């Protein structure tokens, strides 16, 4: 899955011959999983039609503040467009538009949107050789770079004038790759390895029965996505679950029992920077697993259980520089029990939730948690989606590991 998946990308198109390439650029952004809206300068419509771009983006195309052909048309809000975007890419960016951007000339909807944008702005210039090398164009590049805009270098080749040299807009595939590399390279967990456990464990009684719990694994999977979206390489070790994940930075290892999870975790822990153990691991397992299905004979049946290995405690005993996070699901004396686990298992942070809180616990799409740190900070949160809880958790971890 691309790092652009789920992101809002605003594409600005200006009046250069390379505008014909933007149909493929929109298609590639959509293929990457992004949401795309297009803003065109009026003159750019001579090179590619709004109908083509609206069909590919599945969104209306904007080119003026109002639609002159519609008496009931509403104002196209450039501020709203600028705030909607996670990333703004102007491609092709002509010498004329580059100069306007550099000097704040606001004479069309695209320029008004650019001046309103709060997100990273990428610029893919396209012009003839002499224009590309002209001092005024170089001055525009320098000023835009000083503003924080990111220039996607033009390439060399045959130009519209027939000259051969620099000035060709980068190919759509290269623009997408450039943006992906740039976004990943600036992410706060770039280069970090994160170990995450998720889901339940199943402990066999016989070939057809097991001891388990109601964990769906959703919380752990959301944490894995949040970590990967921040640039981390994630090893997700999951017990049996219906959850699925597709991200190029996430490797999933499936296990069934507590012992299998223990073994996989210990293979990975030494080389990770952050470990987040959100799995609901069985505390006990049958002491003797029967090889044949147990027949129903007596009116009562007794299973002798033995403790499983405490994975979290075992990691706390051997951790070096790793930031170790545990989860605690409690039903009474929640804070007291959670604080006890921080000390007894040598944790840096514990995530506490209670089955007494409506909307929290197993199976649902929401959770209500309290973060407790090793320094006894208690950070409570209201009921949120598990997606938002995962983001809150990763934000706190980044804060703690950056300041460490």
Nearest CA among 3, 9, 19 for reference residue 172: 19
Most distant pair of Cα atoms in the chain: their distance: 93
Concerning whether 213 is annotated as a catalytic residue, the answer is yes
Question: Which of 213, 288, 376, 403 is flagged as catalytic?
Answer: 213
Residues forming the active site: 213
């Amino acid at each position: 899955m691309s790092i652009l998946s789920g992101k809002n990308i605003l594409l600005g198109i200006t009046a250069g011959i390379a505008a014909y390439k933007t149909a493929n650029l929109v298609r590639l952004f959509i293929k990457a999983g992004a949401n795309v809206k297009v803003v065109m300068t009026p003159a750019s419509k001579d090179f590619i039609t709004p109908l083509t771009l609206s069909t590919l983006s599945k969104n209306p195309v904007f080119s003026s503040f109002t639609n002159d052909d519609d008496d009931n048309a509403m104002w196209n809000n450039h501020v709203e467009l600028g705030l909607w975007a996670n990333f703004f890419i102007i491609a092709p960016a002509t010498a004329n538009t580059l100069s306007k951007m550099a000097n704040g000339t606001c004479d069309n909807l695209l320029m008004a949107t650019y001046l309103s944008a709060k997100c990273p702005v990428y610029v893919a210039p396209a012009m003839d050789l002499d224009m590309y090398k002209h001092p005024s164009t170089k001055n525009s590049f320098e000023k835009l770079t000083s503003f924080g805009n990111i220039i996607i270098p033009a390439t060399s080749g045959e130009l519209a004038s027939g000259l051969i040299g620099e000035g060709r807009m980068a190919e759509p595939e290269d623009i997408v790759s450039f943006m992906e590399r740039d976004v990943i390279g600036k992410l706060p967990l770039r280069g970090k390895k994160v170990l995450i456990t998720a889901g339940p464990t199943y402990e066999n009684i016989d070939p057809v029965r097991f001891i388990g719990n109601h964990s769906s694994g959703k919380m752990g999977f959301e944490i894995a996505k949040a970590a990967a979206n921040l640039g981390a390489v994630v090893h997700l070790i999951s017990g049996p679950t219906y959850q699925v994940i597709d991200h190029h930075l996430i490797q999933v290892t499936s296990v069934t029992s507590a012992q299998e999870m223990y073994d996989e975790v210990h293979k990975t822990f030494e080389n990770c920077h952050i470990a987040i153990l959100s799995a609901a691991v069985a505390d006990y397992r049958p002491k003797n697993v029967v090889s044949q299905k147990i027949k129903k004979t007596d009116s009562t049946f007794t299973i002798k259980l033995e403790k499983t290995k405490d994975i979290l405690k075992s990691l706390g005993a051997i951790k070096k520089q790793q930031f170790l996070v545990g989860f605690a699901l409690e039903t009474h004396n929640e804070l007291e029990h959670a604080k006890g686990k921080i000390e007894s298992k040598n944790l840096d942070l514990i995530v506490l939730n209670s089955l007494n809180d409506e909307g929290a616990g197993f199976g649902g799409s929401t959770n209500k948690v309290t973060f407790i740190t090793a320094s006894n900070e208690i950070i409570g949160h209201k009921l949120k989606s598990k997606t938002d809880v995962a983001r809150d958790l990763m934000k706190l971890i980044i804060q703690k590991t950056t300041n460490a």
